[in-house]
Each structure stands twice: as C-alpha cells, then as structure tokens.
Structure 1
Amino acid sequence: MIANDIRAGCLMLAGGFCALAIAFLANMGHGEAAIGIVEIVRALRSGESNLMMDVIGGFRLPRAVMGVLAGSALAVSGALMQGVLRNPMVSPSILGISSGSFLAIVLAAILAPDILAAMPIPVAVSGGALAVTAVYMMSGNIRATPLRILLSGLIVSMTISGFTGALLMIFEAEARYLISWSAGSLRQNGWANVQIAAPWIVACLAAAIITSRSFDIAALGEDTAAGLGQKRGPVMAASIILVLVMTGAAVAATGPIGFVGLVAPHLVKLAGVRRNVFLLPASALWGSALLLLADTMTYMLGTLTSAPPVGAITAAVGAPWLLWLVMRRGPGAGMNGQASFGFGRTAHVPPAVLFCILLLLAGVTLLAGIVFAGASPLSFSQTIDGLFGTGSNLARRIIRDLRMPRIASALLAGGGLALAGALFQSAVRNPLADSSIVGVSGGATAGILLVVALFPTASPFAIACGALAGGIVAAASVYGLAWRTHLTPTYLILIGISVSALCGAIVQILVMQTRFNSNPMIWLIGGLYGANWNTVLVLAPTLVAGLACAMLVAARLELISLGDLTARSLGTAIAPVRLAAGVTGVAIAAVCVSQTGPVGYVGLLGPHLARFLCGHSLRLLLPTSVLVGAILLGLADIAARVVIAPAELPAGSVIALIGAPYLIYLIRRSMRA
C-alpha cells in the first residue's frame, strides 16, 4: 500500500509540474494583447528596457508568480484543514478565514491605512484568526461534527461578508478600490506584493512539508495519535497557525479567492495520494495551476476593464465540485452525526399572555418607527395629528408616504423571514437553517443584479420579479437535486451551500462586469431603502397566506422532528411533508427578499427567540416567530436610520451586529444543555 501511495504521489507531482508549466506559460501569454511564448522568452533573455519588457517584467511575470504563491498557499491550507479536522469539505473560504482576512484589510484601509501599508500580512492574519475563533465558538470544539463546522463556517462567512459590504457601501470613497478587489484579482503592478507575501508563504509551505508526518498522525484521530505518542492539540494549533498565515498572505496580495483550497487537494486525493509528504507539495502544484488557468480565463472572457474576477471563476468551478463531492460521498461518508442543536430550557410563557405582549411590542415598534426614525424627528402630538390628517401637509406626507410604509414593510418582511426560517429549521431538523441555506438569498441577489445589469432603468416591480425568480430557481435546484435522497436534511443543507456558492459566483461576475448607476453593495446587503405602500401590498398577503399554509403542515412537521423512523412508523410521508414546508418557506422568503434584499439573521434568530418563549410546539412557534421576527427587523430598521443620521446603515448589518453574538451565545449554551 505504501508503494502504491509513493507511486501515486510521484505521478501527481510530475503531473502537477507539467500542469503548472502549461498554466504559467498560458497566463504569461494572455492579457490585453496576446504575446507568443517565443517573444516572451526572447524579451526575458535580452533584458533590454522596452515596452515589451515593461509589460512582461512589470505586469505579467509578477502576476504569474503571485498566482503560483497564492494558489500554493490556498491549496495547502485546504489540504491541512481537511486532514486535521477530518472533514473533506472544508477550505479557508468555506470556513470564513478568507472573508475574515479581507474584513480586517477593509477596516485597516478605512481606519488605519498607514498600518495596512506597513504590515498587511499581520492585519490579514488577525482577521482570519477572528473568523476561526468565531467558527470554533459556534461549532463547539475541534471535535464537532463536520456538518456543524460547515454550518458554523457558512454563518460566520455570511456575517463577515455583510459587515464588509456595509463598510464598502458606507465608506465608498475611502474603500472604492477595494470593491474591484473583493472578488479576488491576480493583477500585480510590479513586484511589491510578491516581495511582501513570498517570504511568509514559502516559509509556511516549507514548515508544512517538513512536519508532514505529524499531520499524518493527527489525521488518524485523537485516540490513535495519543497511542502513537503524539498530542493532537499542539499539531492542531500549528496547522491553524500555518493556515492563517498562508491564507492571510494570499488575501493581502490577491483578495479573497475561494475554492482553490477545496478542489486542488481533492484532485490529488482522487489519484490515491494520502500521505502528506506527497499530498501537500502536489496540492501546491495543482492549486497554482488551477489558479493560473482561472486567471487566464478571465482575460479570455473579457478585456482589462471588463474581465470577470478570478475569484468568480474559481467559485464557478468550485461550487459544482462541492456539489459533486456531496452527491458522491453523501452523508454516510463522514458527514453524518447529529445535525441538530439543543438549546436547553424554554420560558414557556402562557400563549395568551405571550401574544398580547408581542403584539404590544410590535405596536410600540410601529409607533417608534413613525416618530423617531428619520432625518426630522416628530413629536408625539405631531405624529397623532399626521396620522388622523389634522397636521400640516409636510407632517402628513412624512408619516403617511414615507415612515408608515417603511416601518410596516420592515415588520411584515421580518415576520415573513422568521416564518420561513422556522419552516426550514423544522423541515431539515437543524436550527441553523434559513433561507440562505437553501439558496433563496443567493438566488434572489443574483436575480436582482441580473435585472439591473440588463435593464439599468428597471422599475422596482421588475427588480422584485427578478429577485423572486432567482430565489425560486435556486431553491428549486436544491430541492430537485436532493429529492432522490428523500430530502435528507444533511444532503439538503450541503447541496444548498453548493448552490449558494454558485449564485455567489454569478453575483461577483455581475458586480465586476457591469457599470451600475449606484453602488451595487446596496443590493448585496439588504434594507428597506425604497419601501412604499406597494411593498406593503406585496408583503401583507404573502405573510397571511404563508402563515395559513404553514399551519396546515405544522402537525406533521412536529412528527418529523421526532425522527424519520418514528414519523414513518406513525404513517407520515416524510418527503412530501418536507417538500410542502420547503416550498412554503421558499415562496415566503423569495417574496420578502425581492422587496428588502438579502437581510440575514432574521430567519435564524426569530425562531430561536420564539422557541425560548413558547416551547417547541410548531402550532405556537410559527405565529410567535412571525411576531418576534417583525419586532427584530422593525427595531433594526429604526436603529439603521438613527445611529448615524442623517446617513443610514443597512438594516441587514444591524441585525448581524445583534445576531452574531446572540447566536454564538445560543450555541454555546446548547453545549451545556
């Protein structure tokens, strides 16, 4: 067996060298103008200072070298994480490390550009470390199930991306150049970035390969490693440090580029390579080749100013690869384990008292949104006069045409998103599920940008239709692919992650290849900016009809929550019930996202808070989730308009600011329950 591994390792190393050589030459030859290999070699050999040499030595060669460094760093990081965590579907991008590193760079570019210029690698590493810490806190510990780690990484990435998008939108002038870099780019003007990143990446690659035997032993599991005389903790810590430094250096030089760390190690493993002494260098070679080929494709698909970002190309390739891995390996290949979380005791407030309190809080939120939320605060008497038509024309117009429809839209959209989240969580038996898990948010965002890109003057109705269509198509793809597995929760979640990643690649391409009339981040974060009475007329019947449909399947969903075997023994057809709940949730979420954009966390937090208040009975949980979600988004929208008035924060970022710490608290509490 060792001989076979050595043979496979040597073959993959040789194949990697050949693939890298071809990719390197192809990348050098492509750009705004094609240059033949003979001309490149002649220019490099002559060393004369002319236009050809300036293009090759100042742009194309550092671009290709940076591709080799970044591809190697990301691929080896993915191989280390997959081995030590014993999870075949993780990578720096999936676990939020790349997003965390980029957030730190954006913050430094806005608040401390001198620090960023002086030490970009430590800044990026600090952001990645923060993301790893958040994933660790959410998943529980390093021995958490692979599915729990994946979901925690997805939520951390979603949160960080929301904060980053909000910063890019609010500080557009200070961070304008980072928007084009946010999807990843190898375009290097000179050798400065290569000189900064190369020592860090090369040193970490060498350290990883030299200590590869320790990683082999750690991948056997804690008990086996202890039996062989190795403490797994120090090896785990060393691997995380190497991953953070390599990923941080790559992000600091190229921006966040996803999926290289997922695809490259699996290509090598498909050939039968398992020992890290071969796996790590072979992954580095194949990762470099993949990234250079992806960068070459960007020049084949567009010009210097309109080419898609390299991160979008790697995501467009990597998302189907992740989907293939899910369908090939399935939950039975290391992805099983308890997918659900227990959140301890509940308050069990009497239903009548609970509904009265929540309705009162919703009314107070509605009134607060009318009185306080706006550039011109109104007194209580002015508000009452405006509501009953006895005030000034200006006050009546502010209240009736601006503030009332906006706060009403926030309440309705919050209720709808929370209801959809409760349905998704019950259907897949996982309280970390919401509309983003089944692709609704990603598909709706892609639909919005596609409509705006094709029709720059599109009406709000057309944009809403695009969002609705995109969300439904994405969710239908997820459910269609998962149908043959009887909508098994683990399959459904993992396929949803894959489809969401593919939608993200489409969004990146649209953002970079389209000239929008306004900052595209407005559509990527979500908010109630353009809400009016038409928004209310769309959301109100959707919420009423959605709640009625949800109540019809509530009793059977409660049986499914007891487990598939128990539900079948009681005569429940599991797949049709899950499909009915999923279709209802998708329709509600798609309509809400079409009106507000992808506002995150409401579908996660609303059901959790409702569950704490009323227990686990779905017939109580669903209407309680509606009220709690309405209050959450209503308060978030008020805060978004008040905190930095007269400017405005995205409501989605305010929800994330509240939701991320609370969700971490909930999951940490579940560990002790």
Structure 2
Amino acid sequence: MMADTPWARRRARAPSRLGAAALVLGFAAIGLAGTVANLAMLLPGGGWWAAIVRPDAGLPDQLLAAYSFAPRLVVSLLAGAALGLAGAILQQVLRNPIASPTTLGIESGANLALSAALIWMPGLLGFGREWVTLTGGLLTIAVVFLLSRRSGFAPLVVILAGMVAGLYCASLAALLALFESHYLAGLFLWGAGSLSLQGWEEPLFLAPRLGLAGLAAILLLRPLALLGMEDAQTRSLGLSVGMVRLAALLVAVALTAFVVASVGCIGFIGLAAPALARIAGARRIGPWMLASAATGAALLWATDQMVQVAAVISAQMIPTGAVTALFGAPLLLWIIPRLRLPPAAAGSLSVQLGQSVGRPGRRLLLLGGLLLLALTLSSLIGPTATGWSLALPGDPSSAWALRLPRALAALAGGTLLAVAGCVLQRLTRNPMASPEVMGVSAGAAGGLTVAIFLIAETSRLEQMLAASLGAFLALIVLLLAARVSKANPERIILAGIAIGALLDALVSVLMASGDPRAILLFNWMTGSTYGVDASTAGASLLAALVLLALLPLVRRWLGMLPLGEDTARALGVPLGAGRLLLLMIAAVATALATLLVGPLSFVGLVAPHAARLLGLRRPLSELYGAALIGAFILVTADFLGRTIAFPWQMPAGLVASMIGAPAFLWLLSRKQDLA
C-alpha cells in the first residue's frame, strides 16, 4: 500500500492535473479553430485583418466581420475572464470552492433587477444599466449572507441559501415574463446569455469597467492571500478582515453585474474556471486568479465560436449562455469528484430523527382539517366576471366544475412532491434534498420536453412515462455522484445544480428556435393547473392516494437507512433493493407532480422540514404530515393564483415558490439544523 505522504498525494492528483490542463488547452484550441472556421465562412477570400480594421462599406461581409464578429469575439473573452475572476474572488473570500456568481444567486438577482426596472422604472436605465444590475446582485448576496451568518458562513449553508435565493429570483423573473411578455420576450432570450452584437458599443462598455474592477482585484491580492489563513492569525497581522471581505465581494459582484448588464446570464463559467485552474495546479493566489480569468475566457470563447459555427449550419441563432450550460453541466459533473472541499457541514444541517413530539395523531388531524378547509374554500369562493361569487355543487352556471378539478390537481401535486422530498431526504441523509433542488423535477421536465419535441402527439401515459424516465435518470446521476463523493452534501448539491441547468439550457435553446411548442412548454413549466379537467384531476388524486397507501410498506426502510449503511444492513434492510424501490417511488411521484404543477415549486423542500418542526419525526408521521402540508401549500397557491390578479391566471407552481422559498429561507435563518 502506498504511504500517505505529500509526494504520494501529489502523484495521485497528477492525472487530474493533466486532465484539467488538457481541458483548458482543448477549449483554447477549439476557440482558435472556431475563429478560423467562422472567418473562413464569412470571408472566404481572405484578407481577414484588413477587413476587420478597414472594412469596405460596400461589402456586407466585411461589415459583418468588423462590426459583428470582431466585437463579439472581444466580448466573449472579456466576459469569460470577468466571470472566471469573479468566481475565484468569491471562492477565496468565503473559503468555499463551490462559491460562484451562479451558486450564490448573484446573476439571477442582477437579471431580476434589470427586468423589474425595464417594466416599472425604465428611467433608471438612463443612469446606466450596470447600476441596476449591480444593485440587484448586491441585494441578493446581502440576503444570502444575512441568512447564513448564524452558521459562521458554513459552505453548505451559504450555497443552500444562495441557491434558493437564486431560484426565487428566477421564479420572480419568470412571473414578470408571463405578465409582461410584450416587454420581456426579447429580454428573456437575451437573459439566457446572448452575445449577438451589431457594433463596438458593448466592448467599449465592458472594457473600462472590467479594467477598473480587475485593477481593484490586483490591489487586493495580498489581503486576499491572507484571508486564506484563520481569522485570528489575519487580525494579528493588522488586517481588517471585514473590510477586505466587503471590498472583495464588491469587486466580484461588480464584475458579474457588468457582464449581466452587457450580455445576460452566463452560468457555470464562474464556477468551472476557478475549479479547473486549481485542479490544473494553480495554488498561489496570484497565479490562480490569473489562471481562472484565462480559463474563463477560453471557455466562453470556445463555446461562442461553436455556437456561431452551428448557427451558420442550421441557420438558427442560439443564446451562448444556454449552450454554455449544456456543455458546462457535464464539465461540472467531471469536476465535482476532483474538488478539494472542506469538511462537510452536514452536522449543522442534519435531518434529525427520533420520537415524534407530543401526539402526532392530533397534529395530523389538525393538518387534515386545514387542508379540507382550504380545498372547500378554493372550490366554493372566487372572483368571476361579475365579482366574487359562491360556486355551489351541481349548479351548471357556477364555476364549481372548473375550480374543483384545479384544486384537486394542486392537492395531488403537493402531496406527491412532499412525499418525494421526504423520501429523498431520508434516503440520502441530506437535509436539502428535494425534487426541486436536486434536479429531479428538472429531470422529469427534461424527459417530458424531449417527448413533446420528438413525438408529434403525446398521450397522457406517454408523458408520464417520459417524465418518470427523466426523473429516474436524474436520480441515478445523483446517486453516482453521491457514491463517488462518499455522500458529501456539497458535491450532491453541485450535481443537482448541473442537472437543473441542463433543463434551463434546453428550454432556452428550444425557445430560441421559435417553435410554438416552446411557449406552451414555458407556460407549463411555471406550474399552471389551468385547463385541468375532471378526469385528469381524478387520476392524479387516485395516484396520490395509492402512494400514501403504499408508504407503510417502506416505513421500516425509511427509518433504518438514515442510520448508515452498516447499521441498516445489520438490522436486515436489503440495501440494494430498498434503495431501488425508494428511488422509483421518488421518481414516479416527482414525475406525476411535475406533469401537474411544473418543476418550479419548493414544496418538496419545505414540507418535510415543516413537518419535523411540528414534531413529526417518525417516518410514517413525517411522511403523512409533509404530504398534508405540501397539499395545503399548493391548494392555497392555486387559489391565490386564480384570485390575486383576476382575470389573469398566476400559475400555482410559481405562487408556491413565492410562498415556499421565503418560508424555507426564514427557517434557515432561524434554525440552522432545520430539525
């Protein structure tokens, strides 16, 4: 056996270093080859440099080269370098190798601020759109830090708060896009990261701002290096830790905000570039930050050149940011096992088990009564064209026949998501596990998306099978990531982010194609129960009831698996068969719920924690309590969605995320163990 010496560890890391270096060089080579190919297609006669520097106004190809291709190339290098540098600064400041503008929600916050300003305060854009995006990014990261300060900024808590805050901002942006589509249709595609340019305005906008931010980063190099030490040691050297962190965070957020203001959201660059640079061998702060910026530039340059080549071949322009996510997600899955992460903070965010507090039966009855009341009110009361009215069963002129199926579908969807969340949290011993956060809902939506675009007409059964297959594949990827990383929670979160980003990228690509089915897909993804008929509602309710009836059969496994593999095996739990069956339950439940309410709610994350906060900690009582809470949230969300902006319909999934995300963030700030 090889001794565990520094030399042996360096030798073990050598293949990863070579692989990371080869990847960076490969991206640079792809960028160079793509640049040559694009110029050759644009100017087959040669004379590229002269055409760019001194274009002939009478030759359209030269004008395109000088005022579209060249500035786009410069912007891809500038934006990629800025995001790579921003990610490196965030990781150094927080001592967290999975911090980035994407995982901390900075990009989503900046994009939301720009969307809101465009609708309600367009005059602010006259002062400079970069100030709007900078404000949005700063507010988002301020919320993340406020929520995670009680944990001492533990990496797991910071990333969880950032991810939920980012998803919340993305949900709000989607809601604005639904209600103000005439304003935000173009902004939606641009926000996916479009580098299409018609002049040198964007390079001239970015270059001086990024130059100033880069200069500030250089001035902060020595203080940032000292931040790698313990705070007590740093203070003994006379460094103001708080001021340095604040200054560095301002630089990182500014770099991100400038890029978002110029070209929209481009994910993964800020996470992948510093990770690749570190894996490739850059250790000292100066070379690492420089390598991160160079790697980010190479990644975005290569991706954008490939997008342009594909656009010429297919005669269709796709947002570069969406393609970055398509390539970045598999790249991130490769990087995850090779990241050197600090000890897991799962101890401060544990799924606490044990005896239920008080009398669980009474609490379940109370939750059931609240759910029945919400279902009754949602079906009976609501606004109509003539004002608020009472819809009575059996009255053909009332809206009872329209409201009840929607309420029942929301009830079934909430039940299924909550049960799936409970199963995943107990199966993985991971308190942030849920269909939404871990990408299982995204996998279900991805499977359905592929089916819709590959099959001319899909039946309900085909949609369910496609969604179930997508959810199951997502779970398999997550379990493989968990096995490689020995169930490290941070790595599992990253794998979930990667899977979720694949769906977002796929939808952005499809929407950019102009296919009318993409708009229908976007409306469905927001979680609308509009159009649910009685047969669909009845089938979904039956599926939820069957699932609830099967739960007693697996309660022993759910009680034993969180105790660890060795303990569960000693108690006679068949680990292989048990995990497979629980995975299938979670996948099917997620798939059915996704068909009903879309992938954008937080019910699967919030409901299990709420049940445990009520003292329901035994497997069966927790499952049933979470199911009742999840159903109550979505029934209430459906009712609010129908009434708040009547006659406009707000999707239940989005409204649930408006309720669930703040509730979860509040719980995170109040009780770090989420017990």
Same fold (TM over 0.5): yes
- Given that 1:456 and 1:516 are in contact with CA atoms closer than 8 Å, whether structure 2 keeps it comes out as no
Does the residue aligned with 1:186 lie in a helix, a strand or coil? Answer: coil
Q: Distance in 2 between matches of 1:376 and 1:45?
A: 63
1:518-537 to structure 2, matched below 5 A, reads 518=519, 520-537=521-538
Q: CA deviation at 1:64?
A: 1.4
Residue 205 (structure 2) aligns with: 196
Runs of 5+ consecutive residues of structure 2 not aligned to the other structure = 1-5, 11-16
Deviation at 1:329, TM superposition (A): 4.0
Tell me the distance in 1 between the aligned counterparts of 2:40 and 2:631: 51
Q: Deviations over 1:586-634 (max 9, x none)?
A: 2211111122211411112222222222431222111111111111100
Q: CA deviation at 1:58?
A: 1.9
Give the whole-Å Cα distance in 2 for the aligned partners of 1:355 and 1:498: 37
Partner of 2:42: 34
The match for 2:214 is: 205
| Among candidates 313, 318, 322, match of residue 323 of structure 2 | 313
- The residue aligned with 2:473 is 473
Number of the residue aligned with 2:132: 123
Q: Tell me the amino acid that sits aligned with residue 277 of structure 1.
A: G
Alpha-carbon distance between aligned partners in 2 of 1:307 and 1:583, rounded to the nearest angstrom: 39
2:176 counterpart (167, 181, 190): 167
Distance 1:34 1:498 in 2: 35
* Residue of structure 2 equivalent to 1:153: 162
8 A Cα contact 1:340 1:429, kept in partner: no
1:83-98 aligned at under 5 Å gives the runs 83-98=92-107
Spell out the pairing of 1:65-76 with structure 2 (5 A cutoff): 65-76=74-85
Matched, 1:407 2:393: no
Q: For residue 391 of structure 2, what is the aligned residue in structure 1?
A: 383
Aligned pairs (5 A) from 1:608-619 = 608-619=609-620
Query: What's the secondary structure of 2:400's corresponding residue?
Result: helix
Residue 101 of structure 1, CA deviation:
0.8
Cα displacement (A) at 1:531: 1.4
For 1:229, the equivalent position in structure 2 comes to 238
| TM score, norm. by length of structure 2 | 0.88
Q: Contact 1:371–1:379 (CA<8 Å) still a contact in 2?
A: no
Query: What is the distance in 2 between the residues matched to 1:16 and 1:563?
Result: 39
Q: Select 1:220's aligned residue among 201, 225, 229.
A: 229
Alpha-carbon separation, structure 2, partners of 1:441 and 1:37: 50
* Equivalent in the alignment of 1:269: 278
* Aligned partner letter, 1:194: P
Asked if 2 retains the 8 angstrom alpha-carbon contact of 1:24 and 1:64, the reply is no
2:641 touches 2:655 (CA, 8 Å); kept in 1? yes
| Residue deviations 1:241-283 (CA, integer Å, cap 9, x gap) | 0111000000111100011112222332233222222222232
- Report Cα offsets for 1:353-407 as digits up to 9, x if no partner: 3233222222222222222235357987x633xx2x3x3x333xx322x211111
The equivalent residue for 2:446 is 446
Q: CA deviation at 1:186?
A: 1.1
| Letter of the 1:418 counterpart | A
Between the aligned partners of 2:665 and 2:286, the Cα distance in structure 1 is 37
Look up the match of 1:592: 593
Instruction: Give yes or no for the alignment of 1:286 onto 2:287.
Output: no
Change (3 A) 1:606 1:32: farther
Alpha-carbon distance in 2 for matches of 1:366, 1:378: 21
- Correspondence for 2:641: 640
> Is 1:441–1:593's contact at 8 Å kept on the other side of the alignment?
yes
Q: Secondary structure at the match of 2:57?
A: coil
Q: Deviations over 1:91-146 (max 9, x none)?
A: 21122111111111111111122322431111101111122123223433584332
Which residue identity lines up with residue 49 of structure 2 in the other structure? V
Q: Alpha carbons of 1:95 and 1:296: their partners in 2 closer, same or farther (altered >3 Å)?
A: same
Cα contact 1:59–1:188 (8 A) shared by 2: yes
- d(CA) in 2 for partners of 1:596 and 1:340? 28
Q: How does 1:645-664 map to 2 (within 5 A)?
A: 645-664=646-665
Conserved 8 A contact 1:168-1:176: yes
Does the 8 Å contact 1:259/1:315 carry over to 2? yes
Give the TM-score of the pair, scaled to structure 1.
0.88
Compute the displacement of 1:73 (Å).
0.8
Is residue 373 of structure 2 the alignment partner of residue 364 of structure 1?
yes
> What's the % identity of the aligned pairs?
29
Please tell me the residue identity of whatever aligns with 1:369: S
2:633 and 2:366 map into 1 onto residues whose CA distance is 14
Q: CA deviation at 1:61?
A: 1.8
Superposed CA deviations along residues 46-84 of structure 1, whole A, max 9, x for unmatched, are 454333442123212221121122111101001111222
Are the counterparts in 1 of residues 90 and 100 from structure 2 also a CA contact under 8 Å?
yes
Instruction: Show the counterpart of 1:625.
Output: 626
The answer to whether the 8 A contact 2:81-2:292 is kept is yes
Note if contact 2:55-2:66 (Cα within 8 Å) is conserved in structure 1: no
5 Å-filtered alignment, 1:494-533, equals: 494-517=494-517, 518=519, 520-533=521-534
Provide the residue aligned with 1:417 in structure 2.
Answer: 417
User: Aligned residue for 1:23?
Assistant: 31
Which amino acid is 1:180 matched to?
A: L
Distance in 1 separating the partners of 2:150 and 2:211? 30
**Does the 8 A contact of 1:409 with 1:531 survive in 2?**
yes
- Measure how far apart 1:296 and its partner are: 0.9
Structure 1 residues 44-53 or 307-316, which shifts more? 44-53
Letter in 2 for 1:314: T
Distance across 2 between alignment mates of 1:630 and 1:576: 29
Structure 1 residue aligned with 2:311: 302
Aligned CA distance change for structure 1 residues 106 and 345 (closer, same or farther; 3 Å): farther
SS of the residue aligned with 1:373? strand
Pair 32,622 (structure 1): closer, same or farther in 2 beyond 3 Å: farther
Inter-partner Cα distance in structure 2 for 1:379 and 1:277: 65
